[in-house]
Chain A
Amino acid sequence: MNPLLDIADLHASVGEIKILNGVTLTINPGEIHAIMGPNGSGKSTLANVLAGNPAYNVTRGSASIAGENLMQLLPEDRARRGLFLSFQHPVEIPGVRMDHFMRASLNPIRKHRGENEIGILDFDRLVSEKVQVIDMSRDMAKRAVNVGFSGGEKKRNEILQMAILEPKISILDEPDSGLDVDALRIVASGINQLRSNDNSTLLITHYQRILDYVTPDYVHIMIKGRIVKSGDKSLALDVEKSGYDQFEPTPQ
């Protein structure tokens, strides 16, 4: 069986600045991997590069989803193949309603999976069911995308989209940042409910605390654009106790 996500020696830059310096990582179905690292270590860049953000240049290496090379694909084609990025800063789009947006998103993905397009009524039913995952009112579907959403609502909205799109591999870019403990529990509970043996999650976080609620199979430490150490969840506790300094390369 192919791993769901296979990253090999990935290098990436923004303009002249090199940010990823050879990331290698394999994620199998059913696994949750957490990537932790200090600010500026390249965690968000990794998430954006995997999702195909044109602001980043991949200079070397590869990544594939279920055996299929991602690197030459447009962002929308990656999404249709089952890759999902939960944004650290979800974008506000005035004038576009959540339900229109989510249906416009789901239908090409369903089409790629060989399923029929979903009609408006069935979609409304689906939204009513999935909002329960993140404890939101279905009224949110009538609001403009992320406009006027609180920080916590924006993050829950990302998990709602994940619940509706049912991706194979979810890359969650700091789904915990800016959340109070109640919102954190809801987001974590959503992630846990969506977990299955057929999908996998790459959870990017700065702090250990979300890992109290979402138990990772593996924890990786990223420093200066590389994974410098991998282990199980105890590694996260190690970070919590002693910080990231212990992983920094020793000055020559």
Chain B
Amino acid sequence: MLENLPKPVDAYIEGYNSRDTAKIPPWMTELQKLSMSIFQSKGFPIGVARNEEWKYTSLTTLADLDPVIPQENSQLVTDINQLDLTNSYASAMRIPTVLFLNGIYQPKLSNTSLQNQGIRVRTFKDIYESGTTSVLEEHLGRYVNNASNEFVCLNTALVDNGVLIEIEANAANTTPIHIAHFYTASNKLQTTSPRLLILAPDAGTATILETHEGVGNGTYFTNAVTEIYVGKQSDIQHYSVQTQSVAAFHISNTGVHLAADSKFRSVNIDLGGSLVRHNLDVITAEPGAVCVLNGLYVVDGKRHCDNQVIIDHAAPHTTSTELYKGVLDDESRSVFHGSVIVREGAIKVNANQADKNLLLSDKAEADTKPAFWVYCDDVICRHGAACGQIDPAAMFYLQARGIDSSEAKQLLTRAFLSEITESIASPDVKTHIETLVSDRLSALKSNT
């Protein structure tokens, strides 16, 4: 019985104990120690520990695998062309702001100097090195649940080198800040803990692109945490693109704090991975905050993609718009669990949520679960969910115009997802993602 299995955390504790701790500041050492002990006491949410949050997603396979934490200096690359950039936003002409290969920072493949843009990008290790770590100390772990979320705690405990992006007042960058993660094959469960902290305390505007790319068919486990503080009148766009291997495990926790009159837009794209789980928690903490959360996923085979989005309207006059769309083929499965909380006194909140799925196969399954907790009158909350197949009338219309059935299906699935890709404001990122989505859709069995 599952219930009798031990909590499989020993190997992670071993990884934690064997870290190089020489340069880690004392406060971080304490935070990591605390985080590890929380993770240790909770373990994976499997067996008896499997709660409502994990109802539709089983981590049994992941928990059975033996993790290995990649070590620094083992994988330093000097030329970006050594990486397979076929499907990448990165190129020799477009060096990422920060590039990680299997969790290891690659200074030669990164370009952190964003001149005159009022934006400062540093790695945690650089910050430790500088001796002034107060910014990190003040903010790290503050915008995610580091008190009880097992994967946030695991990330904090194991994080080797994260990235801090500081956006100055009135900064307005034009080119996206690109945080690129590449993953290659490994015979063990290579486990990485990408960590990103974005701070825009006052009227700063920036676009951040976070990519997680797999090269080859390796099995690995990415446990990412991103924290974003959107200060008053700031405007942050966060694009996250996951194109990992068919055997990859990807868990992410993103926490966003919105101050007065700020704006946050996110587009989360999942085109890869075997088991994918995202927790996105947004709090609109002060009046005038607006968030637009979009997501897109394409799953086939036996892939599984789970999005858990919580929006906490803690202040009046705040707005949230949420639209997730998925295309599912074969025996794949998607989960969307969207929660909207409207706190007492949060009048004039406007919350819209929708999840729409296109099922290309009878065996694919999409579970959508909306939940609204509204403790205030005088609010507008709407929810919509849809699951459907390709419209045969549209298919016939296209075919009657000479378009063959596979192209017609690709056209219609692409059109279905275009509502999400159209929401990407950065033209370069949009073009890149449209190509990725289009290639992914043309590779689906039902579309050929």
Q: Mark A157-171, 1 if CB is under 8 A from B, else 0.
A: 000010001000000
The 8 Å CB contact of B411, one of A75, A104, A106, is: A104
Query: Taking the complex as formed, is B396 at the interface, i.e. its CB lies under 8 A from any CB of chain A?
Result: yes
Question: In the complex, what's the smallest C-beta–C-beta distance from A213 to chain B, in angstroms?
Answer: 25
Docked-complex contact B401 and A91, CB < 8 angstroms = no
Q: Which residues on B sit within 8 Å (CB–CB) of A120?
A: none
CB distance from A45 to the nearest CB of B (A): 14
Segment with Cβ contacts to B, from A25-33, A94-102, A193-201? A94-102
Give the size range of B's interface with the partner: 20 to 34
Is A188 in the interface zone, CB < 8 Å from B? Answer: no
B147 at interface, CB cutoff 8 A? no
Q: By the criterion CB–CB under 8 Å, are A55 and B403 in contact?
A: no
Contacts of B400 in A (CB 8 A): 51-53, 75-76, 78-79, 85, 87
Contact A76:B402 (CB < 8 A) given known A93-B415, A104-B411 = yes
Q: Hey, what's the 0/1 contact readout for B391-428 against A, CB within 8 Å counting as 1?
A: 11110111111111101100110111111000000000
* CA A168 to CA B117, docked complex, whole Å: 60
Min CB distance A86 to B, Å, is 10
**Known contacts A93-B412, A95-B414; A165 and B394 CB within 8 A of each other:** no
**Which chain B residues border A161 with CB–CB below 8 Å?**
401
- With beta carbons under 8 angstroms apart, the residue of A55, A79, A144 that contacts B401 is A79
* Bound: A221/B134 CA distance, A: 88
Q: Mark A98-112, 1 if CB is under 8 A from B, else 0.
A: 000110111011001
Report whether A91 and B393 are in contact in the complex, using a CB–CB cutoff of 8 Å: yes
Q: Within the complex, which residue of B391, B399, B414 is in contact with A76, where a contact is CB–CB below 8 Å? A: B399
Cβ A80 vs Cβ B402 within 8 A = yes
Does A148 sit within 8 A of B, measured CB to CB? no
From A76, A91, A93, give the contact of B404 (CB < 8 A). A76
A108 and B403 contact, CB distance less than 8 A:
yes
Minimum C-beta distance from A93 to chain B (A): 5
> Are B397 and A90 closer than 8 Å at their CB atoms?
yes
Q: Mark B132-150, 1 if CB is under 8 A from A, else 0.
A: 0000000000000000000
Q: Which chain A residues numbered 205 to 228 have a C-beta less than 8 Å away from chain B?
A: none
Q: With A76-B399, A80-B402, A95-B419 in contact, do A104 and B407 touch (Cβ < 8 Å)?
A: yes
CA separation between A85 and B398, bound complex, in Å?
11
Q: Are B403 and A95 touching (Cβ within 8 A)?
A: no
**B-contact bits for A124-141, CB 8 A (1 contact / 0 none):** 000000000000000000
For A91, give the chain B residue with the smallest CB separation.
B397
A51 CB to closest chain B CB (Å) equals 5
Does A243 sit within 8 A of B, measured CB to CB? no
A80 contact set on B, CB distance < 8 A: 402
Q: In the bound complex, what is the Cα–Cα distance between A76 and B395 (angstroms)?
A: 10
Taking the closest CB of chain A, its distance from the CB of B418, in whole angstroms, is 4
Which of B397, B404, B405, B415 lies at the interface centre, i.e. has the most chain A CB atoms within 10 A of its CB?
A: B397
On chain A, the residues within 8 Å of B396 by CB distance are 51, 53-55, 75, 91
Tell me, rounded to whole Å, the shortest Cβ–Cβ distance linking A116 to chain B. Answer: 16
Docked Cα-Cα span, A55 to B400, in Å, equals: 13
| CB-contacts of A63-88 with B (<8 A) | 74-76, 78-80, 85, 87
User: How extensive is the interface on chain A, given as a class?
Assistant: 20 to 34
Chain B's nearest CB lies how many Å from the CB of A146? 9
Query: With the chains together, A154 CA to B185 CA distance in Å?
Result: 53
In the complex the two chains form, what is the Cα distance from A79 to B400 in whole Å?
Answer: 6
In the complex, chain B residues 211-255 whose Cβ is within 8 Å of any chain A Cβ: none
- In the bound complex, CA of A106 to CA of B416 (Å): 23
Given contacts A54-B392, A55-B392, A95-B418, contact A74 B411 (CB under 8 A): no
With contacts A54-B392, A96-B411, A104-B411 taken as known, whether A76 is within 8 angstroms of B397 at the C-beta atoms is no
Decide if B402 touches A109 in the complex (CB within 8 Å): yes
CA of A78 to CA of B391, assembled, Å:
21
Please, which residues of chain B bring their CB within 8 A of the CB of A144?
A: 415
**A90–B405 CA distance with the chains assembled, in angstroms:** 18
Beta-carbon contact of A165 and B401 below 8 Å: yes
Residue of B nearest to A108 (CB): B402
A104 to B412: give the CA distance in the assembly, Å.
Answer: 13
Kindly report which residue of chain B lies nearest to residue A90, judged by CB atoms.
Answer: B397
A96-B415, A104-B411 in contact; A91/B394 too (CB < 8 A)?
Answer: yes
CA distance A109 to B402 in the complex (A): 6
Output the nearest chain B residue to A53 by Cβ-Cβ distance. Answer: B396
Across the interface, name the chain B residue whose C-beta is closest to A95. Answer: B415
Q: Tell whether A93 pairs with B397 under 8 Å between CB atoms, given A104-B411, A108-B404.
A: yes
Which of A87, A90, A95 touches B416 (beta carbons < 8 Å)?
A95
Binding site for A on B (CB under 8 A): 391-394, 396-405, 407-408, 411-412, 414-419
Can you offer 10 A-B residue contacts whose CB atoms are under 8 A? A51-B396, A74-B404, A75-B399, A76-B402, A91-B396, A94-B415, A95-B414, A104-B403, A105-B402, A108-B403
Extra contacts besides A75-B396, A76-B399 (18): CB < 8 Å: A52-B400, A76-B405, A76-B408, A79-B401, A90-B397, A91-B397, A93-B412, A94-B415, A94-B419, A95-B414, A95-B417, A95-B419, A96-B412, A96-B415, A104-B398, A104-B411, A108-B404, A144-B415
7 closest Cβ pairs, A-B complex: A95-B415, A79-B402, A105-B401, A95-B418, A75-B399, A91-B397, A109-B402
